[in-house]
Each structure stands twice: as structure tokens, then as C-alpha cells.
């Protein structure tokens, strides 16, 4: 049974739905004020890049390395392993990553070579991988239209509010208005290192910080601006009937919306997105079994 949203949340969510696709927005980065502790790279669909001076530093990739691992497995792995990729991204499953990394030790090194990720090192284990925000943003931008990467982006777009290890996934670049999907990473102590990589309409953005999740969020939101591209610009069409519209709405709640209502809205939207992804997967499986050539 569906639960009714509290009235303030319902009102805020309704407002956000109206704002989910305002005049086409421009997402920009001002790197000058970002502290050295944080690295950020914003890459547009045309390849143009704006980044902090330290964006080429190879820092611990944390769970963002699962994107490199998942891409290779999705393209080259056994069918039963390909099926593991989406949830590995959605829930940031360390156990799945360790299993796949052991079975396919060539995966991350192969992706590094294939995409020329010169600032990325595997170091023998997915959890020891280092990468730069430049490499991560370029990789995500490059594979965005690749069918093999579809499980990655579905997992990012339906990221669970709570990861497999109980950590909350709601910080960093995920908090930028207009973001539609995010992969989260954090150190084992949940304090010293955090990273996120996100996708939006016409851009990808990656960020890493030496510090807590709240610090990454503050540094990102202090440097990123989302503004209408031009007065009176036509509205970007919202994905009607799609969970992506709800996710965008949850990330575009009015500034005065209390934090607990923002969190509840994001949890509800991502819950709908996960359900939609599961149903889509079932339909695709049924089509494949029926011999359909429809590509999902």
C-alpha cells in the first residue's frame, strides 16, 4: 500500500515537480574558491571541461572504481556476472566488487588502457585503485551512450538512499540541482575521504575530498552554479511518467524546504526509480526470451 506523503512534503514535492524542468539550465563551475582538499571536474557533452587546478591528482577512487570494474564486466563478463553490475553500483556492494575483481583481475587495468586513463592506477585491487576527477569525468562522458554502460547509469540513477554497508548516499555532487544519477564513494572510517560522480542533462561531474561527506557537499555547492541559460528560454521537456522526473524534482526542491523533507523526497523518488528499473529489467528479459530484437 502506498503511504501518503506528509502535507508539507507533498506541497514541496509538487512545487519541485513544477520546477523540475524550468528554463533550460546552465551548470557552471567556479574553481577559484575550491579548497585544495577538494578536486572537482565538470565536463560537458561537447568535451569542454572546467576543473580545479588539482583535478589531475590521482587520489583514492574509493567505490567510484566500481564504475571501471562494472563497465568491463558488463561488456566482457559471464552473463551471471553482468547481472550483478547494476546492483553493485546501486547499493555500492563491496562484496560483489571483490568477487568480480578476483574473477576478472584484468578488468580495471583493461579499462585504464582502453580509455587512456593515465591518472588511474589499479594497484592490484579495486579498493586500492586511485583515479583523478579528470579521468572519471572523461570516462563517464565517453561511455554515456555505450549500451555496455547502461547498467552503470541505471544503478547511478536509482542509487539506494542507504548503501549495502548502511552508509547514507546523499552528498557531494548528488546535491547539485538537475543531477539525475550519482555513484558514491567513502573511506572505511567514513570520515577521511569521500568522492562522488554524477550525471545531468549535458554534463558529468566528479569530485573528491579529504574529509567528511558534509565537507564535500559544501565545497561542491560553493563552487557550482545552476542558472537559466537565457531569459525566456524554452522549458526542457520533463520525462513525463518517468522516475527521472521525480528524481530531478527531489533534487530541485525550494531552498526553504527543511532538510528532513528534502531527504524524505529523495528517498521516495529513488524508491520509485528503483522499482521502475526492476520492472524495466523484467520486461527486457521477457522480450529477450520471446526473441524480440527490441533493445533495452
* Cβ proximity of 273 and 86 under 8 Å: no
User: Which among 177, 201, 227 is the end of a domain?
Assistant: 227
pLDDT (mean) for 194-201: 98
162-166, 169-173, 248-252: range with lowest mean pLDDT: 248-252
Q: Assess whether 176 and 265 both reside in one domain.
A: no
Residue 33 has pLDDT above 70, yes or no: yes
Q: Assess whether 182 and 257 both reside in one domain.
A: no
pLDDT band at residue 228 under the 50/70/90 scheme: confident
Q: Assess whether 34 and 123 both reside in one domain.
A: yes
User: Which among 200, 227, 254 is the end of a domain?
Assistant: 227
Q: Assess whether 189 and 59 both reside in one domain.
A: yes
In a domain, 296, yes or no: no
Q: What is the pLDDT of residues 58-93, one digit of tens each?
A: 999 999 999 999 999 999 999 999 999 999 999 999
Residue 19 has pLDDT above 60, yes or no: no
Q: Which of 232, 231, 233, 229 is nearest to 26 (CA)?
A: 229
In a domain, 234, yes or no: no
pLDDT band at residue 233 under the 50/70/90 scheme: very low
Q: What is the pLDDT of residues 114-162, one digit of tens each?
A: 999 999 999 999 999 999 999 999 999 999 999 999 999 999 999 999 9
In a domain, 10, yes or no: no
**pLDDT reported for residue 247:** 63
Q: Assess whether 79 and 186 both reside in one domain.
A: yes
Q: Assess whether 52 and 165 both reside in one domain.
A: yes
Report the interhelical angle of 133-143 vs 107-115 (nearest 10°).
Answer: 80
User: Which among 227, 253, 269 is the end of a domain?
Assistant: 227
pLDDT (mean) for 163-181: 98
9-23, 35-49, 119-133: range with lowest mean pLDDT: 9-23
* Cβ proximity of 139 and 67 under 8 Å: yes
In a domain, 172, yes or no: yes
pLDDT band at residue 257 under the 50/70/90 scheme: confident
Q: Which residue has the higher pLDDT, 214 or 253?
A: 214
Residue % of the chain over a pLDDT of 90: 68
In a domain, 218, yes or no: yes
Quote the number of domains for the chain. 2
For Cα atoms 218, 237, 262, give the angle at the middle one, nearest 5 degrees: 35
In a domain, 144, yes or no: yes
Please give the model's pTM, rounded to 2 decimal places: 0.74
The boundaries of the domain holding residue 107 are: 26-227
Residue 14 has pLDDT above 50, yes or no: no
Q: Assess whether 267 and 136 both reside in one domain.
A: no
In a domain, 232, yes or no: no
For Cα atoms 134, 138, 139, give the angle at the middle one, nearest 5 degrees: 115
Amino acid at each position: 500500500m502506498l503511504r501518503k506523503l506528509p502535507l508539507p512534503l507533498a506541497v514541496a514535492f509538487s512545487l519541485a515537480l513544477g520546477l523540475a524542468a524550468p528554463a533550460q539550465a546552465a551548470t557552471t563551475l567556479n574553481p577559484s574558491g575550491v579548497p585544495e582538499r577538494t578536486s572537482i571536474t565538470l565536463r560537458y557533452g561537447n568535451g569542454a571541461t572546467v576543473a580545479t587546478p588539482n583535478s589531475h591528482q590521482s587520489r583514492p577512487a574509493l567505490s567510484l572504481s566500481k564504475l571501471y570494474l562494472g563497465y568491463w564486466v558488463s561488456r566482457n563478463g559471464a552473463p551471471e556476472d553482468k547481472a550483478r553490475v547494476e546492483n553493485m553500483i546501486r547499493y555500492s556492494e563491496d562484496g560483489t566488487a571483490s568477487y568480480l575483481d578476483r574473477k576478472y583481475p584484468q578488468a580495471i587495468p583493461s579499462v585504464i588502457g582502453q580509455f587512456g586513463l593515465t591518472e588511474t592506477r589499479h594497484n592490484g585491487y579495486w579498493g586500492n585503485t586511485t583515479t583523478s576527477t579528470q579521468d572519471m569525468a572523461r570516462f563517464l562522458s565517453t561511455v554515456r551512450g555505450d549500451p555496455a554502460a547502461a547498467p552503470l547509469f541505471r544503478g547511478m540513477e536509482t542509487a539506494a538512499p542507504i548503501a549495502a554497508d548502511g552508509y547514507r548516499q546523499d552528498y557531494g555532487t548528488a546535491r547539485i540541482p538537475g543531477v539525475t544519477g550519482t555513484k558514491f564513494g567513502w573511506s572505511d572510517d567514513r570520515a577521511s575521504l569521500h568522492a562522488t560522480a554524477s550525471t545531468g542533462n549535458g554534463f558529468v561531474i566528479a569530485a573528491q575530498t579529504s574529509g567528511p561527506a558534509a565537507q564535500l557537499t559544501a565545497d561542491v555547492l560553493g563552487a557550482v552554479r545552476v542558472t537559466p541559460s537565457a531569459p525566456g528560454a524554452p522549458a526542457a521537456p520533463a520525462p513525463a511518467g518517468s522516475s527521472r522526473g521525480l528524481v530531478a524534482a527531489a533534487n530541485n526542491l525550494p531552498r526553504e524546504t527543511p532538510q528532513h523533507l528534502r531527504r524524505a523526497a529523495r528517498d521516495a523518488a529513488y524508491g520509485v526509480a528503483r522499482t521502475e528499473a526492476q520492472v524495466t529489467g523484467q520486461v527486457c528479459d521477457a522480450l529477450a526470451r520471446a526473441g524480440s530484437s527490441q533493445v533495452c
